Amino acid sequence: AQKVTQAQTEISVVEKEDVTLDCVYETRDTTYYLFWYKQPPSGELVFLIRRNSFDEQNEISGRYSWNFQKSTSSFNFTITASQVVDSAVYFCALSGSGGVGGGFVFGPGTRLSVLP
């Protein structure tokens, strides 16, 4: 079975601080995909990044960067120089053939509060 764990329930930072959101996943699939989504109070999940299991190259996109390590089954997400607008709940998700019914498996989410 697939599982996604986000150990951090809530994080508070002051604006301009860097913040890293942790994600640990479990899967028996050899090919799988990892995602980060952001959910503002409006409810819509906004896609942020996607990574496949055979590409461990870590990248930076604007203020976002991610660290994918297969050896530790982790897919951490970092926001550099956080802003108040980054306040939201962030979800890590896993997609592969081993998911329940084949859908995405989401972690419980991390609520990020960026204080001015």
Partner 1 sequence: KAGVTQTPRYLIKTRGQQVTLSCSPISGHRSVSWYQQTPGQGLQFLFEYFSETQRNKGNFPGRFSGRQFSNSRSEMNVSTLELGDSALYLCASTLAPSSRGNTIYFGEGSWLTVV
Closest CB 98 distance from partner 1, rounded Å: 10
| 28 part of the interface to partner 1, by CB under 8 A | no
Beta-bridged to residue 114, according to DSSP, are 13
| 110 part of the interface to partner 1, by CB under 8 A | no
| 91 part of the interface to partner 1, by CB under 8 A | yes
| 64 part of the interface to partner 1, by CB under 8 A | no
Among 33, 64, 74, 80, binds partner 1 (CB under 8 A): 33
Nearest to 51 by CA among 71, 28, 67: 67
Among 20, 45, 78, 80, binds partner 1 (CB under 8 A): 45
Stretch that binds partner 1, among 19-27, 28-36, 59-67, 79-87 (CB under 8 A): 28-36
DSSP class per residue in 50-113? EEETT-----EETTEEEEEEGGGTEEEEEESS--GGG-EEEEEEEESTTSGGGS-EE---EEEE
